[in-house]
């Protein structure tokens, strides 16, 4: 029983660490994108200001129970994804509950948050909600196909679904990373990563260039605060997941920050130099190049 409480304490501390890292990362990216656009941009602490602002607002609008549970489900998806994989390999307090989690579990958590958000947005009654839901679920579903194929290839390569064992197999230097030993699966996973991070050109559900039709349209006050907090959790957790699967994991916090920051910059760079796809263009692209690459990766390690 004592070990459980210690584990919970470590999990809460790691959540606090990764939440603040995600918030600062979002602020830094806003500044970088602004400079690319020739603007000064907001300060790096702007995500904290936005979060405190929406949490201080009260709301009397009621759309139904699922409307309230949507942001909760989405936050649960991000936290669950984070808690069941190692953050820093070999660390006592940054292992979380990785001994209980595997690749199938974290894939379920990724889709759980998206599905909860779709159900919540559908309850809002906003006439554009179905459009945002359709775009978002289509984008998530089609981008997870090459990701799932890359995961199958990695699992076949190492003979395990345990994220901890996959990270352990990559220790010993750069040449042991899956990026080197399984480059085809890494390529498929990284192409899926662009869609899963939902930066341009794959920001279909928010459509910032149009009238807002995404889930945040009807959310406000504390509910919007849950969504903003989840962006810090979910983005950081997905970065850690891809780092663990393809880039050797991290053995200390500085390496964690360096690898995840560089990994995030890949999607940011693609976003600032490409306009947003139409839905049919995005679906067509994922079905062709990333999916075919993922199939090749699976065939290499299963036959």
pLDDT value of residue 186: 93
What residues contact residue 62 under an 8 Å CB cut-off, 6+ apart? none
pLDDT value of residue 2: 61
Beta strands in 41-152 (DSSP E): none
pLDDT value of residue 153: 92
Name the stretches of the chain with pLDDT < 50.
211, 213
pLDDT value of residue 233: 84
Residue 18 tokens, joined: 């990764």
pLDDT value of residue 218: 67
**Cα–Cα distance, 177 to 171 (Å, whole number):** 7
pLDDT value of residue 1: 56
Number of other residues whose CB lies within 10 A of the CB of residue 174: 10
pLDDT value of residue 216: 61
253-273 and 2-36 helices, crossing angle to 10°: 40
Where do the domains of the chain lie? 2-302
Residue 14 tokens, joined: 């790691």
The model's pTM is: 0.88
Quote the Cα angle for 298-300-303, to 5°: 95
pLDDT value of residue 209: 53
CA dihedral 77, 83, 87, 90 (to 10 degrees): -160
pLDDT value of residue 188: 92
pLDDT in tens, 2-22: 678 888 888 888 888 888 898
């Amino acid at each position: 029983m004592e070990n459980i409480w210690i584990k919970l304490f470590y999990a809460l501390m790691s959540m606090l660490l990764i939440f603040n890292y995600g918030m600062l990362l979002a602020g830094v990216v806003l500044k970088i994108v602004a400079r690319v656009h020739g603007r000064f941009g907001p300060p790096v602490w702007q995500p904290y200001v936005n979060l405190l602002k929406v949490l201080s607002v009260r709301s009397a609008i009621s759309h139904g129970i699922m409307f309230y549970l949507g942001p909760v489900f989405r936050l649960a998806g991000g936290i669950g994804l984070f808690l069941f994989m190692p953050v820093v390999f070999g660390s006592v307090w940054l292992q979380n509950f990785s001994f209980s989690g595997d690749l199938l579990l974290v894939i379920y958590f990724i889709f759980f948050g998206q599905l909860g958000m779709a159900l919540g947005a559908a309850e809002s009654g906003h006439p554009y909600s179905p459009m945002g839901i359709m775009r978002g679920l289509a984008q998530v579903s089609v981008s997870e196909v090459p990701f799932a194929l890359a995961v199958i290839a990695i699992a076949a390569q190492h003979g395990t679904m345990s994220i901890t064992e996959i990270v352990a197999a990559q220790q010993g230097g750069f040449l042991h990373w899956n990026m080197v030993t399984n480059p085809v699966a890494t390529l498929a996973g990284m192409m899926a990563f662009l869609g899963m991070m939902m930066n341009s050109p794959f920001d279909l559900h928010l459509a910032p260039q149009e009238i807002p039709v995404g889930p945040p349209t009807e959310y406000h006050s504390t509910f919007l605060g849950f969504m903003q907090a989840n962006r810090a959790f979910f983005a950081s957790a997905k970065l850690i997941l891809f780092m663990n699967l393809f880039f050797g994991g991290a053995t200390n916090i500085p390496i964690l920050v360096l690898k995840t920051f560089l990994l995030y910059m890949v999607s940011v760079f693609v976003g600032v130099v490409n306009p947003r796809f139409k839905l049919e263009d995005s679906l067509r692209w994922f079905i062709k190049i990333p999916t075919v690459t993922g199939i090749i990766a699976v065939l290499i390690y299963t036959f």
